[in-house]
Amino acid sequence: MVVQVNGKLRDRLEVAVDISEQEAVKLALASPNVAHHLGGGEPKRVVAKPPNLVNLLV
């Protein structure tokens, strides 16, 4: 799964094909590189298309 912050690639995660949207977002937010680019804040909008993509918009 590709994890983006503001449309820019920040991480890639290996996930199950049948992962739920909530679990995909939870894994994306747990990534250290993603957390660094979020600056400790919460995303204003989340676009999740599991198992392919999670885009966090600040």
Task: Note down the domain range covering 51.
Answer: 2-57
| Separation in Å, CA 41 to CA 3, 15, 20, 53, 56 | 16, 24, 23, 20, 11
| Separation in Å, CA 26 to CA 17, 20, 35, 52, 58 | 16, 10, 12, 14, 16
Please report the pLDDT score of residue 37 as a whole number.
95
- Number of domains into which the chain is organized: 1
Q: Is the pLDDT of residue 27 over 90?
A: yes
Mean pLDDT score, 38-52? 94
The C-alpha atoms of residue 58 and residue 41 are separated, in whole angstroms, by: 8
Q: Which pTM value belongs to this model?
A: 0.91
Are 38 and 58 in contact, with CB atoms under 8 Å apart? yes
Q: What is the CATH number of the domain that holds 49?
A: 3.10.20.590
